[in-house]
Structure 1
Amino acid sequence: MNFLKAGLLIVFSLLAIFGKAQTDTINTKSYADKVMIRVNLDTNIESYVFSSGEGKNAFNMDLSINNKTKTSFSIDYRIISATVSFAPRFLEGNNDDEMKGKSSYSDLSFRFFPGRFIQNVYYKNVKGFYVENMKDLSPEWQEGRDPYIQFPDLRVQTFGGSTSYVLNKNFSARSIYTQGEWQKKSSGSWVPFIDYDLTIFRNTIDGVKNKEIQYNIGGNMGYFYNWVIGKKVNISPHLAIGIGGKFSSYREIDNGSAKQNAQYATIRMQGGLHVGYNTDRFLFGGKINFKSYAYDQKNSQSVENSNLYGLLYIGYRFAPPKVVKNTYDKVQKKIPVL
């Protein structure tokens, strides 16, 4: 816990040192003085792929939740971007409880943009999984007739974040991440970043409760490019690779068994493509992203959170109400980093 407090202190000290309010420059137009609201619809839902063995003895089990689409609402003002997400039950693919079981999903995230730093923190809470690749496990299984194997008590909570730094001062990462700025000229930048999370798995199998805690940390290097077409359209691809470490601790709670600890080296890759349309008031666009995360466990590979997903968004900017501006100014006096 002392290590965590020290890490947070270092991160926010750096943000305070380098932080400053965004303003227009030769290369970017800032919307920091506007409130921006966005509605997002995406398919980035939790899934886990567990693999073991090699060759004919290989065994894969794909765990997913019974929610294929989530909705999120975002609000941006000054250097803060906040997003809350959930999976509505009325959307198609989110309510097949009879075959796949009941699932729940929610997350909350904040992103800060002081200077060339990008600081992201988030919390996710997911419960209720099913085995998606039933045909691989049981050739006799038939979709629509047979139910999926379900883990209704499997709950995954994640506390995480990332800290990035944009090396090219003429590149606007905010124009890609949250559309809080508009980049006037095409430009790219290398972006080194570290990501870290604490994930808690809880499950009950045959009346026995078990719990696993995982710590992940990694160093990554990514390249982002923002291709500006005319005055209102941008196309932005990016790719990042990294290495890191995973530290896990597992135990069965009810029988008082000893903890099983393990450490692994990890390899990760992520990338995507963003296409957006922007005016001073109105904006919309879409993104396609992928993530792949792997580690080696006694000569058999396990892959976690390997997925391809899409996102659509629409947003609107307006002048902040006086109560919002005055409240922010008061808080900023007490927390200069804002």
Structure 2
Amino acid sequence: MSSRKLSFTFLFFSLISYSQEIKDENIKQFLEEDRKKISAVAGLSYLHNSFGLLYQDKVFRLRPNDAFYTEFFLRYRWLDVSFSFAPKFAHINNDDPEKGKSKYFNFGFTFFLNPKIRQYIYFSQVKGLYFQDTKEFLRLIYGDAYNEDHYLQFPNAKYRSFKGETTYLWKGNKEEYRSFNNMTYEPLKDVFIVSTGLFYQYNILNDLGKTVYKGEVFDDTINDEPSKDIRIAVRSGGGVQKKIKDNWYIIVEAYPEFYYSRLLNENFHQFNIGLYSNARMGYDDGKWFFGAGTQLNWINSSNENFYSATQWLFRVGIGFRFNSPTFVNRNFDKIDNILK
């Protein structure tokens, strides 16, 4: 009886080992085939964003009017590019005349410096803002009796943001972490990752000289100096990727952060804590894929709009993978050999 139990135990562990070897071999084969495919995603995002404007030791909120914009993601091998804008033909924005018109443009890319270090670089611009705290601002000038519900518009205002993040994976590597970036990567297995990232951001707010209020235009370019600020944050946390039956999956990430931010042309700075989190659920059968996700950036700040901050974002997208042209594969093979 004992010998039978012992034989069964050896057989059981042998089968587990053999099953794992098959799974690892399938993943290796998939990664090799994926090198010759291009992934493309088109999506729609809703962004709630605000930008700080310091006046008489009080921070007022500037906001873009249109919150919806389209997003596109393209990936081939290690080149992962994203860009977004609100094209006129899409008619996805319903601008409020009281708040003016806003336009978005974003561009960024992600790549791995080695299997453990991911580099993220991003540029974003929004043009056309309105003063969300117009009533509170004008009460400083005309007194508490002012009670009109109109908004100051800044049609030429531009808010440009240059962002970057360098992340080190304590647990996990680029093959396991890459599907956390966006939907262009197919989730291959259940994964748990732990990472620490250094986030850095430089923002410029300018062209506030032209204002519109109740249809009347005012132009003051003499005092139109740009406002500049920086933010540096250290984020440490983890994420979970779980495969569900029939090619469904779910991804959840949470990163507590400690940050420092400063207005460069004012004697105003701040240390504080916050939380950056991200979640996505989707379907991916290897060729077609779609999903939806949300992103939350909470900051424990008494001056919560001192600098640019995305409070929350929601996006949906659909994409597909197709074979890349032979000449593209050939040229990238040459580049890969040089990088080795």
Tell me the TM-score normalized by structure 2: 0.75
Match of 1:216 in 2: 231
Match of 2:299 in 1: 293
Displacement after TM superposition at 1:193 (Å): 0.8
Q: How many residues align?
A: 294
Please point out which of 277, 284, 289 is paired with 2:283: 277
Displacement after TM superposition at 1:216 (Å): 1.7
Kindly provide the CA deviation profile for residues 144-175 of structure 1, in whole angstroms up to 9, marking residues without a partner as x: xxx52212232111111111122223782212
Match of 1:115 in 2: 115
Hey, what's the Cα distance between the residues in 2 that align with 1:301 and 1:125?
A: 17
Match of 1:100, SS state, is: coil
Hey, what's the Cα distance between the residues in 2 that align with 1:293 and 1:153?
A: 28
Residues 59 and 204 of structure 1, relative CA distance in 2, 3 Å threshold: closer
Matched, 1:101 2:107: no
Hey, what's the Cα distance between the residues in 1 that align with 2:183 and 2:89?
A: 29
Hey, what's the Cα distance between the residues in 1 that align with 2:334 and 2:290?
A: 32
Displacement after TM superposition at 1:192 (Å): 1.0
Matched, 1:35 2:38: yes
Residues 225 and 26 of structure 1, relative CA distance in 2, 3 Å threshold: farther
Q: In the alignment, residue 88 of structure 1 is paired with which amino acid?
A: P
Displacement after TM superposition at 1:180 (Å): 4.4
Hey, what's the Cα distance between the residues in 2 that align with 1:215 and 1:247?
A: 6
Kindly provide the CA deviation profile for residues 46-88 of structure 1, in whole angstroms up to 9, marking residues without a partner as x: 42366999xxxx9774321122111121110111210111123
Match of 1:210, SS state, is: coil
Matched, 1:76 2:75: yes
Displacement after TM superposition at 1:178 (Å): 2.3
Displacement after TM superposition at 1:329 (Å): 2.8
After TM superposition, the structure 1 stretch with the greater mean CA deviation from structure 2, 76-85 or 267-276, is 267-276
Please point out which of 151, 160, 165 is paired with 1:162: 165
Mind listing any 5+ residue stretches in structure 1 that lack a counterpart? Answer: 1-23, 251-259
Hey, what's the Cα distance between the residues in 2 that align with 1:181 and 1:107?
A: 21
CA contact 2:199–2:234 (8 Å) conserved in 1: yes
Mind listing any 5+ residue stretches in structure 2 that lack a counterpart? Answer: 1-22, 140-145, 210-219
Mapping of residues 180-191 of structure 1, within 5 Å:
180-191=184-195
Larger helix percent? 2
Mapping of residues 217-256 of structure 1, within 5 Å:
217-250=232-265
Q: In the alignment, residue 309 of structure 1 is paired with which amino acid?
A: L
CA contact 1:276–1:285 (8 Å) conserved in 2: yes
Residues 159 and 130 of structure 1, relative CA distance in 2, 3 Å threshold: same
CA contact 1:295–1:303 (8 Å) conserved in 2: no
Q: In the alignment, residue 275 of structure 2 is paired with which amino acid?
A: M
Hey, what's the Cα distance between the residues in 2 that align with 1:301 and 1:288?
A: 21
CA contact 2:73–2:184 (8 Å) conserved in 1: no
Match of 2:313 in 1: 309
Match of 1:10 in 2: none
Please point out which of 32, 47, 66 is paired with 1:44: 47
Hey, what's the Cα distance between the residues in 2 that align with 1:237 and 1:221?
A: 14
Residues 211 and 230 of structure 1, relative CA distance in 2, 3 Å threshold: same
Displacement after TM superposition at 1:26 (Å): 6.2
CA RMSD in angstroms, aligned pairs only: 3.1
Hey, what's the Cα distance between the residues in 2 that align with 1:263 and 1:62?
A: 17
CA contact 1:174–1:180 (8 Å) conserved in 2: no
Displacement after TM superposition at 1:220 (Å): 0.6
Please point out which of 135, 148, 151 is paired with 1:148: 151
After TM superposition, the structure 1 stretch with the greater mean CA deviation from structure 2, 75-84 or 97-106, is 97-106
After TM superposition, the structure 1 stretch with the greater mean CA deviation from structure 2, 128-137 or 238-247, is 128-137
Tell me the TM-score normalized by structure 1: 0.75
